[in-house]
Structure 1
Amino acid sequence: MSTQTIMIESDVERSLDRISLEIVERNHGVADLSIVGIHTGGVFLARRIKEKIEQREKVVLPSGNLDITLYRDDWSLISQNPIVKKSDIGFLLEDKRVILVDDVIFTGRTIRAAMDAIMDYGRPLSIQLAVLVDRGGRELPIQPDYVGMVVAPHPDERVDVLLSEKDDCDAVVLSPR
């Protein structure tokens, strides 16, 4: 089994353009909209989506980032000393429609943890989910509202999202576990 590139830079850019447009369309504009990215890849994608919406709509959207490490139901299995990043939500969530952004959705457990973390900051009007890649395999009844690409990898494959902010290129690759 070899590594296979399933999205290149132009595919990622086109997907983010489409997701940004769908967010504005589905929400009938940008009133009360906010963007929150999940560490790490979701933070970079959230920034890009935010910039696209702001440029198109000529607005400034509240945004933040979320570390869900201690909200995970498996953190004690992953490591006895989890690496906790900083969450930064510097605005009130009440009366906001939160667009939660992540790079890949798989089991749904990361998103469940993120929703728990968001609720600790306040009670938004709604939470909508945007992901670059939906790889299926849900263990919880959580589905994204906005998706760049749906892929059904072999159980022995992993989906890696490479982003220029940390990997010097934009791509999505399937690779052996």
Structure 2
Amino acid sequence: MPPTRSHLLASAQALCDAFATKADVETLLSHFSSTHQISAIEHGLPLAAPFLGRRFTGRTGPTSVPVYFQLLSKYLTYDSMSFSEWVVDTHAGKVSVKGAAKFTWTEGKGDGQSWDEEFVYVLDFDEECKVTDYQVWADSGAAYLAHRGELADKVKEFEQENKTS
């Protein structure tokens, strides 16, 4: 019997809650399937940040899902993460949700540069309501500029160019 809407929604909310409270990698992985191949991808150009544009698969190895979460925690921190606008597709076993948070780059030239961002998760689930595929669409441009240490200057330029007199 396929998962119900309430089960899919509860599973998606549990993963998002764990992410919002900055749970460790093992806790995040507990929301993923142990019976199906798992994957994570944050869409964007790979040159923009080390965690973008590559599909991370499985539980072990250099391109595994745990490595994706480790890269996120190495390069980013975030505050005030929240989720809204849940869309549940029981036929496909998917949940889509809009998230928002304040992100801060924590490495290299961009250390300390922050931006507010809205992003989208699309989560695919197995028959036990565990995540098989985790996809993210986010502001890769802000991450890229922060990574290069240029975000704060670009924001100031933009604000000056768009001031109303």
Normalising by structure 1, we get a TM-score of: 0.24
- TM-score, structure 2 as length reference: 0.25
Structure with bigger gyration radius: 2
Which structure has more relative contact order (CA 8 Å, sep 6+)? It is 1
